Structure 1
Amino acid sequence: MDRNGVDSSYATMCSDVTLCANNKGFFKNFVEEMVSLAEIDGWLDDFELIEDKEKVLAVRNNEKIMEPINELLSRIQPLFRGKDARVSHEKKTAALIALKNGDLVKSLSLANQAVLRAPMTGTDEVIDNGITLALSLWVRSEVLLSLNRPKPALEDLKLALKERLPARMRADYYWRMGHCYKGTGETTRAKVSYELASRLLGDKKEAKIQLTNDIESLNHSTQSERPSKIKEPQVTCGAALNLPAISKLVKITEDNDKGRYAVANAPVKTGDIILAESPYAACLLADCHGSHCLHCFVRLEDFEDSAPIWCPNCSGVAFCSIQCRDAAISTYHLFECPFFNLFIGSGMSILSHIALRMVTQAGLDTSLSIHSKCLNNEIKTIQSPVLNDVEGEKKKFKIKSRKERLNRTRNGMNIIENKTSDIQEIEPQIKNETSYNEKIEMAAEQIYSLVAHSRQRKGADYLKRIIMGMFLTECLKKTDFFKNCEKENITKAEISICELIVRNLQLLQFNAHEIYETVRGEHQFRGSKPVYIGVGIYPTGALFNHECYPAVARYFNGKKMLYRAIRPLESGEVAAENYGPHFLMRTLKERQRMLTCRYWFRCQCIACVEDWPTLKETESKSPIYLRCLNKKCNGKIKVIKNPTNLKCMKCSTAFNKTSLKECLNEVDTVLSQYEEGAKLMEQQRPQDAIEIFSKAIDCFYDFAMPPHRETHIAQESLRSCYATFGNTHILKEK
């Protein structure tokens, strides 16, 4: 323990894990050796006193440390799972055998592998005459059609044609296309396709007879189903003008002790959505690279309208659509793709990957501009859209006119709520490239105003992050990231990018959120559990403070993060989320240890101040704490058995028999509603359960106060109900 009562060894471990996820990679041991080397002659102690903006240069100027670092950096080479025409050919052949045997699931899996491993057309002429990709797509389209998935089968056919499907297969191509259009209900197009196939068949009489039968089988009264628009979740009562990600019911305020944080701007009811935000940057866990779209995080198995799309360079990732693939390839993936296996082998954390992604998605010029504005000016001088509208003890930032503020806000923030989602999803092919870069810079101003606790950081921790920054910068040097940089400016640019990554590594430690999906079986709730698939940084969501008794539940729709109230809030009350340690599951001592070591603050929420019992420590039927009848008093009165002369300890207001009986009757009503909500969950009716739980919880807070076991269980049940409207995957029975 240090002099502040913090478990320093545990704090170091918590900090290290945000840099290196495991001990298997080479990076963790290497940086530990560098720290030991830096401690010789007291250099590390002096390093700790150096200004933040001089620290990277200080390390670069230390020849004793840089010698082994340069040796490591010199060995960096691209390392990724490449294309293999032979493997693709074998998978394609195996897929056809499985299809013939009627094992469609296995056949599709093999066909997907064939597509993802296939090199680009013309790369390897020895195997399949260089058209392995086209032939793999052809096979997969047949499998998809057999699985009654005509839409993705049709997409594969179109892609196969683009990849030089042989002209001799053109008749079969249009014939199968006719089947696809027939399956989607587009009978006119199906007929045209069949007729084209018939012309190309030549004198094959039997085939033409079959084609004629296919044409006659078309039901022209059938209409194709129009894809239903998926309703995007919206914040309750409309979005705040200055921050489109949050509801008008919430505002951001500031004080000297808590910094910036969210409070209710008006009464919030249980069930209200108070935040819906896409990430500034997000990365998929490496373990999910084969199961989810790298760009939008949708689970590929659950995406019925398309089959996995390939990266032209590597075989280690997949995309749900051409749109997602092109958006990724034309920005970040181009620079990250060659080093994916190296990243995994290094043992670096997903936060380290996001630190890199924040640079690669912006590109060199925009990243250098962000460095100039956000790092050289030390963040807090930036006229960020958020900071300009913060309420609190000190308004630190002002923009001259309301019109200018609104223009900056719209330009900087509409990206956060763009219908196509986050910054990564603004496709670089858009006509206005300048606008794209400006939007990134505007959003970056908000990101780089988040806390990084640089001045509290120990020298050893800072050194480790600088070495990671150097490692990632060196990877970028071995791509085309710096190719447009003037030769005389290259060293300065490399240092700036390294400094930007180091800042990213610091602020991500305290501001990133894990993205999850709910995995369940046949029943919506029994046996369901959250499974983490990625991590993102959310500019506005990061401003919500932690409490061990949170006011909101967090869930995800794709990468979009939603906060939904699990208890009512009066105007001015803190709209808190939970960073992990909840009072129901962890004791006060456990929570404080985790929060001080992982997030560097000591929680002063009501659950900590009053030391509320955990769920295990509470009795099966917990006591009731009634609100004081005096509306100006925030006191609460514990109701014991056979209560008489109940009086508020704060203001001495007494309960008479009538008022007490009314409150206890309300308790019985609320408890019965909780039971009704639980029954609705058992019946798999989450929306109905949400309505009954929300009504009951709001009612409870009208006359009572926490802690209350049954209410907390109802709130956790509500959290599970909310999650059913987010990312969900149903496990198939084997």
Structure 2
Amino acid sequence: MSRIYEIVDPAYAATCSDVTLCSNNKGFFKKLADELVSMAEENEWLDKFENTEDCDKVRAVFENKTLMDALNEVLSRIKPLFRGKDARVSQEKRLAAVACMQDEDLTKCLALASQAVLRAPMSEAEDPLDNGVALALALWVRSEVLLKLNRPKAALEDLKLSLKERLPARMRAQYYWRMGHCYKGAGEPTRAKVSYELAGRLLGGDEKLKQQLNNDIQSLDYTVKPPVTVEKPSIKVTGGAKLNMPALSKLVKIAEEEQKGRYVVANDQIKTGDVILVDKPYAACLLSDYYGSHCLHCFKRLSDFEDEAPVWCSRCSAVAFCSVRCRDEALSTYHLFECQFQDILIGSGMSILSHVALRMVTQAGLETSLLIHSKHIKSDLKTVEGSTLNDIEGVAKKSKIKSRKERLNRSKRALKSFNEKEATGESETKVDNKMSYHEKLEFTAAQIYSLCTHSRRRKGTDYLKRVVMSIFLTECLKRGGFFKYCVNENVNKAEQSICELITQNLQLLQFNAHEIFETARVRQKISSKPVFVAVGIYPTGALFNHECYPAVARYFDGKNIILRATRPLTPGEVVSENYGPHFLMRTLKERQRSLACRYWFQCDCIACREDWQCLKQMNSDTTFLKCPSSECKSKFRAFSNCIPNECPKCSAPIDKYYVKECLENVKKCCEKYQECAKLIEQDRVEEAVSKLAEVLDTFHEHARPPHRETHIAQESLRNCYAAAGNVYTWKENQ
């Protein structure tokens, strides 16, 4: 199979591919992989390896004694390496927080108290320092800071957790007294009174303290009610969800062609502003740079949580969670195996994509991972299971599910679940909960492992590096107890299967993963920029093909990816997104080089075919009008003093009055773009989105791109969309 990247720029392509595997040259992995490649080139073994079938490549590396001896020499030194708990450090941070509280620097105080919480060993750990209750004491101090910061609910959560972590009995009176303060601040006077009364029973004979407590009880205002928490409305696809692909709108469908593979096209008229996709990640990982500022599990900023404070991992101190729920979900799945090797994984220099490849295994566990391997790797099944297949139009579907009975049963379960949801009005979450966690992963894996890997276009050098990375990650899993419940005689086979699964993950992630971002805005300024905090693989979102002039804009709500239309589309038109190179910012040559070397394809979108100018070179006076014939997709350049007699494509006659009317409408659209810009300046974002969508639809009724003012308006609309997702506002001096 032809390799377009070798024709365009093979050296740059090799660099691009290496970065998806190992993004930090300071780590040990890059040097190790290069040395092993050099060894493999001897005796032409690498050439033979390149021609080996994919299903046999991992085994071929295992059977190469020279390579494995060199690799095992490195792997033998792997051992748990992570930032553990330290009672002394926790005590130092706690005392520093207390001192800082006296200086009334509460922001710094909270940071120190949170560090004390995260570094404290669990209460059951035997530690003479603080009598083994360092965590309880750290939580106690942080609850006081939170209360001073007028965050009573967060303080209350810390209080409850401190009691679970064996807060000393001598502090129980103060405990209930502070709990009363928390309930009072939270607008729950009845509970506050109960807590104060409990504190009074434990105070003993200190009359002065009892009088203070009585004053607190008398100060309770029973007319106060708890503040109403307004939940952020969930984002739903326009026109209802597809029966077999709930992440996708009914306005679109999946098509398939030999050269393009599967892609998304309009199934109905799509208007600007329509939500086309709301998809959850199959697997996602937070960038290590954000371990201290974001929840490891849900990726939300820890500072965004008013009613909760960062929660600790029971083993390591390098990460934080926004809640006990997120922490427990992480510990019950992936973090249990990744936690103890965090520093060695980061130190290896491996990319975030390599981490996601590992996460796809650790989140599933050994049993489910082996099941996924047997169904989608060894069986050569490269298709989507069940009813999803029925949505694909185009080339004949040659692939078949291993068990037709199993496929039908899965389809029936999925359809029954969806129908129950429609009938009862249940949320998607409630329906999903009917399926167990591992069943969801297994079901979604069918979509994930049908995504392209371009393995036939992959050079032996690149493939070998990915196998080496897989062996390294598998060894970490082995030493972390991932295979401990596997029967001894099956361990070697299980290790090879997991290695093959990770290798497949590394290949498909290269072309299908999405960077997850939050929109950072400067307070009291319009400007904003995306900040990439994580990477994920989205089973349905990965089906959207690239165009340099995309039809949708993407943003993120939590972990969910949202795709929303930035221009109208008619049935049959491709619903494309953008993988990075946009015609407004980069020339045709730059885009083609980037796409060929990073994604291994040559873009043939309209912006590339017609070689549209970048925004800086674009002329504001140039307007293309649509052909008068509703059946023709062609356009013509409009000049008031030079009007063509007929359409250059379909020969439909062009009337000068038609041209005049269209140009007047385009002019009105440009005026309305300016009105929308003023709305954005006034931070009236929702109103701006509504009006921009309406004006853009009007423009496309009369004209065609490229059109400078329209593209600027579309970029403004994209920024407005992002404002509805993950947003972080910081001060100018930050």
TM-score (normalised: structure 1): 0.96
Assess if the C-alpha contact under 8 Å between 2:553 and 2:718 holds in 1: yes
Following superposition of structure 1 onto structure 2, how do residues 127-206 of structure 1 map, counting pairs within 5 Å? 127-206=129-208
**Percent of paired sites with the same residue:** 60
Q: Distance in 1 between matches of 2:610 and 2:568?
A: 20
Distance 1:486 1:71 in 2: 26
1:54 partner SS: helix
How far off is 1:632 after superposition? 1.8
Residue 371 of structure 1, CA deviation: 0.4
**Is the CA contact 2:5–2:600 (under 8 Å) kept in the aligned structure 1?**
no
2:310 to 308, 311, 322: 308
CA contact (8 A) 1:388 1:397 kept: no
Q: Which residue does 2:121 correspond to in 1?
A: 119
Q: 1:582: which partner in 2?
A: 582
- Aligned residues of 2:100 and 2:106 also touching (Cα < 8 A): yes
Residue 616 (structure 1) shift: 1.4
Question: Of the candidates 250, 253, 258, which is equivalent to residue 252 of structure 2?
Answer: 250
Contact 1:171 1:198 in 2 (8 A): yes
Query: What does residue 293 of structure 2 align with?
Result: 291
1:175, distance to aligned residue in structure 2 (A) = 0.4
What is the match of residue 347 of structure 1?
349
1:59 corresponds to: 61
Tell me the CA shift for residue 122 of structure 1. Answer: 3.5
Cα drift, residue 383 of structure 1? 2.9
Aligned partner of 2:608 in structure 1 is: 608
SS of structure 2 residue aligned to 1:386:
helix
Check whether the contact 1:294–1:319 (CA below 8 A) recurs between aligned residues: yes
Q: Distance in 2 between matches of 1:667 and 1:11?
A: 42
Which stretch of structure 1 is more off in the superposition, 500-509 or 385-394?
A: 385-394
Matched, 1:49 2:54: no
Q: Within 1, Cα distance between the matches of 2:360 and 2:110?
A: 35
SS in 1 for 2:41: helix
2:520 maps to a residue whose letter is V
Q: 1:264 is matched with which residue?
A: 266
Give the partner amino acid of 2:717.
L
| Amino acid corresponding to residue 437 of structure 1 in structure 2 | H
Trace 1:1-12 onto structure 2 (pairs within 5 A).
Answer: 5-12=7-14
Question: Shift of residue 655 of structure 1?
Answer: 2.7
Return closer, same or farther for 1:626/1:402 CA change in 2, 3 Å cut-off.
Answer: farther
| Structure 1 residue 585, shift from structure 2 partner | 0.5
* Contact 2:5 2:13 (8 Å CA) reproduced: no
Q: Please state how far the C-alpha of 1:394 moved relative to its aligned partner.
A: 1.4
Measured against aligned partners, the alpha-carbon deviations of 1:598-645 in whole angstroms (never above 9, x if no partner) come to: 0011000000011000111112x1411000101122221101252344
Name the residue aligned to 1:374.
376
Farther off after superposition, 224-233 or 167-176: 224-233
- Tell whether the 8 Å contact from 2:383 to 2:449 is kept in structure 1 after alignment: no
- Give distance in 2, aligned partners of 1:185 and 1:100: 27
Q: Deviations over 1:146-170 (max 9, x none)?
A: 0000001000000000000011100
Match for residue 437 of structure 2?
436
Task: Report what 2:488 is aligned to.
Answer: 487
Structure 2, unmatched stretches of 5+, are none
Contact 1:385 1:408 (8 Å CA) reproduced? no
Equivalent position of 1:634 in the other structure:
633
Distance between the aligned counterparts of 2:405 and 2:623, measured in 1?
A: 53
Assess if the C-alpha contact under 8 Å between 2:383 and 2:450 holds in 1.
Answer: no
Instruction: Determine the structure 1 residue equivalent to 2:707.
Output: 708
SS in structure 2 opposite 1:19? coil
Q: Distance in 2 between matches of 1:484 and 1:401?
A: 28
String of CA shifts for 1:642-679, please: whole Å, max 9, x gaps: 23445321123333232222111101110011001111
Paired amino acid for 2:628? L
Quick one: distance in 2 between partners of 1:513 and 1:589?
Answer: 24
Structure 2 residue matching 1:337: 3-state secondary structure: helix
Shift of 1:589: 0.6
How far the C-alpha of 1:62 sits from its partner, in A, is 0.7
Q: CA RMSD in A?
A: 2.2
Q: Which amino acid aligns with 2:590?
A: E
Distance 2:417 2:596 in 1: 33
2:593 aligned with 1:593? yes
Partner amino acid, structure 1, of 2:624: Y
1:259-305 superposed Cα distances (whole Å, 9 cap, x missing partner):
10000110000000000011000000000000000000000011112
Say whether the 8 Å CA contact 1:278–1:422 is kept in structure 2.
no
**Distance of aligned partners of 1:645 and 1:67 in 2 relative to their CA distance in 1, 3 Å threshold:** closer
Instruction: Using the TM superposition, give the Cα deviation of residue 496 of structure 1 relative to its aligned residue in structure 2, in angstroms.
Output: 0.3
Question: Aligned partners of 2:120 and 2:406: how far apart in 1?
Answer: 57
* Secondary structure, counterpart of 2:270 in structure 1: coil
**CA shift at 1:22, angstroms?**
1.6
Matched residue, 1:461? 462
User: Partner of 1:678 in structure 2?
Assistant: 677
Is the CA contact 2:386–2:407 (under 8 Å) kept in the aligned structure 1?
no
**1:555 partnered with 2:560:** no
Q: Count the aligned residue pairs.
A: 724
User: Which stretch of the first structure deviates more once superposed, 487-496 or 659-668?
Assistant: 659-668
* Residues 359-379 of structure 1: CA deviation (Å, up to 9, x unaligned): 000000000000000101112
Q: CA deviation at 1:52?
A: 0.7
Q: Deviations over 1:526-580 (max 9, x none)?
A: 2x11000000000000000000000000000010000000000001100000000
CA contact (8 A) 1:524 1:724 kept: no
Bigger mean CA offset, 217-226 vs 303-312:
217-226
| Conserved 8 A contact 2:82-2:316 | yes
Q: Which amino acid aligns with 1:665?
A: E
Once the two structures are TM-superposed, the CA of residue 123 in structure 1 deviates from its matched residue by 1.9
Find the counterpart in structure 2 of residue 451 from structure 1: 452
CA distance in structure 2 between the partners assigned to 1:282 and 1:215 by the alignment: 49
Which amino acid counterpart does residue 623 of structure 1 have in structure 2? Answer: T
Q: What is residue 220 of structure 2 aligned with on the other side? A: 218
Paired residue type of 1:334: L
Name the structure 1 match of 2:694: 695
* Distance in structure 2 (CA, Å) of the matches to 1:422 and 1:280: 18
Q: Does the aligned pair in 2 maintain the 1:384–1:446 contact within 8 Å?
A: no
CA contact (8 A) 1:269 1:569 kept: yes
- Indicate whether 1:535 and 2:535 are aligned: yes
Task: Give the AA of the match of 2:71.
Answer: I
- Asked if 1:409 corresponds to 2:414, the answer is yes
The AA in structure 2 aligned to 1:522 is R
Deviation of 1:522 after TM superposition, in Å, equals 1.1
Partner Cα separation in structure 2 for residue 442 and residue 413 of structure 1 = 15
Give the C-alpha shift of residue 253 in structure 1.
1.0
Say if 1:468 and 1:74 are closer, same or farther in 2 by CA, change over 3 A.
same
Q: What code does the residue aligned with 1:601 have?
A: F
Give 3-state SS (helix, strand or coil) of 2:436's partner: helix
> Structure 1 residue 254: deviation in Å?
0.8
Letter in 1 for 2:465: K
8 Å CA contact 1:255, 1:393 repeated in 2: yes
| 1:488-512: CA deviation from partner (whole Å, max 9, x where unpaired) | 0000000000000000000000000
- Structure 1 unpaired stretches of 5+: none
Q: 1:383 to 1:402 in 2, by over 3 A?
A: closer
66 and 404 in structure 1: CA distance in 2 versus 1, 3 angstrom threshold: closer
1:626 maps to a residue whose letter is L
Amino acid at match of 2:596: T
Q: 1:19 to 1:715 in 2, by over 3 A?
A: same
Letter in 2 for 1:598: R
SS in 2 for 1:726: coil
Match of 1:504 in 2: 505
Preserved contact between residue 281 and residue 537 of structure 2 (Cα < 8 Å):
yes
Task: Provide the C-alpha distance between the structure 2 equivalents of 1:401 and 1:210, rounded to a whole number of angstroms.
Answer: 70
Alpha-carbon distance in 2 for matches of 1:451, 1:3: 16
The answer on whether the counterparts of 1:283 and 1:353 sit within 8 Å (CA) in structure 2 is: yes
The code of the aligned residue for 2:567 comes to R
